[in-house]
Amino acid sequence: MNPNQIIPKTPNTTLSIPPPATIGIIGGGQLGRMLAIEAKKLGYYVRIFDPQRNAPAAQVADEAYIGHFDDLELIQKFAQGCHVITYEFENISTRPLCDLVEKGVRVSPSPDVLAIAQNREKEKNFLKSNGFPCADFLILNNVTELSIAANDFPFPACLKSSEFGYDGKGQVRLEKEFDAVEAWKKMGGKKGILERWIDFSAELSVICARWQDGRTVAFGAIENLHRNHILDTSISPGRFSPEIAQKAENLAIEIAHHLRVVGLLTVEMFLEPSGKLLVNELAPRPHNSGHFTFDACFCSQFEQHIRAICNLPPGSVEQFRPAVMVNLLGDFWHQEKSPNWIELLNEPCLKLHLYGKDQPRTGRKMGHFTILGYNLDHAIKKTNTARKILGLPSIT
Ligand SMILES: Nc1ncnc2c1ncn2[C@@H]1O[C@H](COP(=O)(O)OP(=O)(O)O)[C@@H](O)[C@H]1O
Ligand SMILES: [Mg+2]
């Protein structure tokens, strides 16, 4: 156990929490793992909460609490002795987090921010009511409302579940003619959002960090390529005009201020052919599109999050070289056999990250690699050589 176990009665979020304090991370996936690695590098003591004993983050943390996210008693125990609690994914109930805040535990980003980011209806209403641009949408309470929407909503459209969606799960693209009952069933949620289908010219994300006193730092706009609604590749710097990149950065920072986030906020956006940016999603945590920062930036998104929630000074977001990150999904493990890592590692500027997951299911994020180049063309060329080894189509 860490000897530094002091919990303030009311969370004073302006106090700094220097190492070797204890950081509690709810969620033990790859984001938690990379957060834990960076926290350990800084000398923190790391405690993970996850239902799975051998979760990716539990493998690298000092301690793991194994239990369900709705086990209030265990979450309380877990929080005892943590100087700050954060989370690595949105699909957890805000109730236990609110309880912790009431008891004086510091939780960053706050449960209020999580409540908005984890629910598409709240997220869209937040964006709309604060004048942030997003795709036209309709909130649907039931399948009948979907049938009625078919009359005047513009199609194609995207039907998404209000809650628990990730990596394209709970999403259905709808053409003009569709079977409402079937679509609703496929979407699988209790409530839904019908969203205009965006023929974007690009997808991008901006990851920014905000401190309690309002300071912010942002990584430059990242270009994201998806396959089957799952992130496939991220390119940084994204291939946008300086004006678009700046506009995207400003938009993300403005949203972070509106939400009063303490920690990271990732803003996913669509770029329309007209040059207009539309906000797609918000995530108050490290983001898959920012994995390249681990190897390509002075201070990674994970370290930046730790610095912000512990109120340490911001780190530099400087990127050493152009970078491309490719997700390694379970699809590449044929009959459970790993891809040929040695062949992949023949490229000396390729950094391989495997998350320690044992079941390589289709669509499951098992790892990623990042390639650095002297320029972006060089990085993309080398990426395509690596993609060929995995049987992936080239990117252009
Ligand atoms: N309205 C839309 N128009 C076009 N493509 C979309 C739309 N909504 C989602 N997509 C595609 O699906 C991907 C995943 O959707 P998103 O809303 O970000 O959900 P999640 O990442 O939580 O699964 C997006 O990054 C984009 O590629
Ligand atoms: Mg998304």
Start-to-end Cα distance in the chain: 50
Q: What are phi and psi of 353, to 5 degrees?
A: -125, 120
* 237 within a domain of the structure (yes/no): yes
Tally the residues of the chain: 396
User: Residue 210 is encoded by which pair of tokens?
Assistant: 């905000």
pLDDT in tens, 217-238: 999 999 999 998 899 999 999 9
Number of H helices, E strands in the chain: 12, 17
The rounded distance, in Å, linking the Cα atoms of 146 and 130 is 26
What pTM did the predictor assign? Answer: 0.95
* Residue 116 belongs to a domain: no
Helical ranges in 153-290 per DSSP H: 180-187, 242-259
Mean pLDDT value of segment 261-280: 98
- pLDDT tens digits for range 105-144: 999 999 999 999 999 999 999 999 999 999 999 999 999 9
| Residue 262 and residue 354 share a domain | yes
Residues 350 and 255 in one domain: yes
Instruction: Give the H/E segment covering residue 139.
Output: strand 137-140
CB 183 within 8 Å of CB 159:
yes
Examine the domain organization and report whether 313 and 169 are in the same domain: no
User: Taking 90 as the threshold, does the pLDDT of residue 338 lie above it?
Assistant: no
Q: Please report, for the domain that includes residue 153, its CATH number.
A: 3.30.1490.20
Q: Is the pLDDT at 12 greater than 70, yes or no?
A: no
Ligand 1 proximity of 119 Cβ (cutoff 6 Å): no
- The pLDDT mean for the chain works out to 94
Residue 226 CA, closest ligand 1 atom number: 27
pLDDT at 10: 54
CATH code, 38: 3.40.50.20
Query: What ligand is nearest to the CA atom of residue 160?
Result: 1
- CA distances (Å), origin 28, targets 164, 168, 231, 264: 17, 21, 20, 18
The minimum-distance atom of ligand 1 relative to the CA of 165 is 22
Q: Is 140 in the pocket of ligand 1 (CB under 6 A)?
A: no
Mean pLDDT, rounded, for 346-361 = 95
User: 176 and 211 share a domain?
Assistant: no
Question: How many angstroms is it from 18 CA to the middle of ligand 2?
Answer: 33
* Integer Cα distance of 10 and 103 in angstroms: 7
Q: Are residues 262 and 373 in the same domain?
A: yes
Q: Give the Cα separation of 69 and 50 in Å (integer).
A: 7
Domain boundaries, position 163: 136-196
Given 196, 217, 245, the domain boundary residue is 196
Same domain, 78 and 171: no
Q: Please, what is the angle between helix 94-102 and helix 72-79, to 10°?
A: 50
Q: Which ligand has its closest atom nearest to the C-alpha of 173? A: 1
Q: Which residue, judged by its Cα, is nearest atom 13 of ligand 1?
A: 229
DSSP for residue 208: E
The Cα–Cα gap between 268 and 289 comes to 9
Return the CATH number at 230.
3.30.470.20
Tell me how many domains the chain contains: 3
- Return the beta strands (E) in the chain as ranges: 22-26, 45-50, 63-66, 84-87, 137-140, 157-161, 171-174, 192-196, 202-210, 216-218, 222-227, 230-236, 263-271, 277-283, 323-329, 350-354, 365-372
* pLDDT above 90 for 169: no
- Together in a domain, 101 and 52: yes
Q: How far is the CA of 168 from the centre of ligand 1 (A)?
A: 6
